[in-house]
A and B are shown apart, each in its own frame.
Chain A
Amino acid sequence: MNTLFGERKEGATKIVLKSVDEYPEAPVTLGTTLINFTGDWRTFIPVIDDSKCVKCYICWKFCPEPAIFIREDGYVGVDYDYCKGCGICANECPTNAITMEKEEK
């Protein structure tokens, strides 16, 4: 997806170290979470049904990442590069507009 809150992320490229020589000598982080797509960890993916959404933004408030952003049209979107699939948004949504589906990879 390569976006941060709907905007294209500058310099967001996942680092994959292929040989031991490419590793830093000490185990230190090589950048910010911009390059660490924690969305990889997800098993269940939140899917939002805009027709049920009442724009209360409770999901946006509760997302611990935060990976939920408010789109220009006022509905909410999910940054799937960082959403770990915890399901808190779906649990909190008062209109059941968010469902957690098993993600096929």
Chain B
Amino acid sequence: MAEYKPIRKVVSGNYAAAYAVKHARVDVVAAYPITPQTSIIEKIAEFIANGEVENLEYVAVESEHSAMAACIGASATGARVFTATSAQGLALMHEMLHWASGARLPVVMVDVNRAMAPPWSVWDDQTDSLSQRDTGWMQFYAENNQEVYDGVLMAFKVAETVNLPAMVVESAFILSHTYDVVEMIPQELVDEFLPPRKPLYTLTDFERPFSVGALGTPADYYEFRYKIQKAMEEAKKVIHEVGKEFGEMFGRDYSQMIELYRTEDADFVFMGMGSLMGTVKQAVDVLREEGYKVGAAKVRWFRPFPKEELYELAKHVEGIAVLDRNYSFGQEGILFNEAKGALYNTNARPMMKNYIVGLGGRDFTVSDVRKIAENMKAVIEKGELDVEVDWYHLKR
């Protein structure tokens, strides 16, 4: 491998995504504009207009549903395909998301987390992407702009290895429109890390014509569903390998699906996803100085769900404060629900409490983490929950 000399650029999260698409040598982009995603595809269009990318076909479509349909068609010919969307746009894609995973096509998309309307909101909230939990897409949550860039490159590699689509998720405005230094990888090293796609099948195989998306009767449908689950299980291993390889090549290790921060001797940890975990890590440093033995567990991959890593963490902490910037109405925060379920049949049963934070872009700061720490500490000392789901910010 040639010596790695990163190219440092000050870019928004959205531009980081666009540069990753350029460096991944994507063949086809089909997308429809929606705030706060639009600047991703604008930047890609600019690359094409400036002649900075070779052979990148941009398909302008009339809706997000059509965008994903075009991505599926392109991916079925063996192309490397990308799209981006947010909130209502992602919801409109929903039907097609199932088609992508069911046909085992490794489309990669960036979803810029935006709150679902009504009331209209363009601000950060994870309910849009988490509502797509059961579509068979892998989901990677980025904490910062660097992870957006790295995440897109890794998502292509993981997706193309297990033949499942992947979603890289970043926060509205907090990342999408906020500029930060991102270390980019020289093209020849990206090429080494991410070789051309080897498709499972291609519709341009004229020697052996076949059809995709045909009828699966009750005698056959079941087996194909099982194969998607097997691929998700395989993806966990692939994520570990690809994340390790990325670390060895470029110095940022992603081998763990849950990033642990100062959890070794922690009494309890904060668990969450995405940009809010940057705030939490900073709060952990502050709280440690104040005498709290706390750590942070950042769930990078929500699908496949890293239940083995969660178990290892849960074994040696007294409590987990799950921070959900999302909600499943009628139950609780979605990560909280997943995490509790993953531990139920194990012998690791720390106290778990759900804090609903930051919905629709409500500010979530270090002082919020401190208040949650005080509450969580009291809950653990008392040995019983005050409430299981805490609408922490609620004006009362």
Interface set of A (CB-CB < 8 Å, partner B): 17, 20, 23, 25-32
Contacts and interface: CB of A to CB of B under 8 A. Distances in A.
A25 B229 CA distance: 12
Contact of B200 (A26, A29, A30): A26
A30 B210 contact: yes
A52 B62 CA distance: 57
Interface residues of B, number: 19
A36 to B, nearest CB: 9
Interface in B85-103: 102-103
Interface stretch (B147-155, B213-221, B347-355): B213-221
B231 to A, nearest CB: 8
A28 B226 contact: no
A20 B102 CA distance: 16
Going nearest first, the 4 A-B pairs with the smallest beta carbon separation are A26-B104, A29-B210, A20-B223, A29-B211
Contact of B212 (A26, A31, A32): A26
Chain A binding site: helix, strand, loop or mixed by DSSP? loop
Contacts of A29: 210-212, 214
A28 B210 contact: yes
B224 A27 contact: yes
Contact of A26 (B103, B220, B226): B103
A27 B163 contact: no
Contacts of B391: none
Interface string B184-224: 00000000000000001100000001111110100010011
A27 B213 contact: yes
Contacts of B9: none
Contacts of A20: 223, 226-227
27 contacts: A17-B220, A20-B226, A23-B223, A25-B104, A25-B163, A25-B227, A25-B231, A26-B103, A26-B104, A26-B163, A26-B201, A26-B212, A27-B212, A27-B213, A27-B214, A27-B220, A27-B224, A28-B201, A28-B210, A28-B211, A28-B212, A28-B214, A29-B210, A29-B211, A30-B210, A31-B210, A32-B209
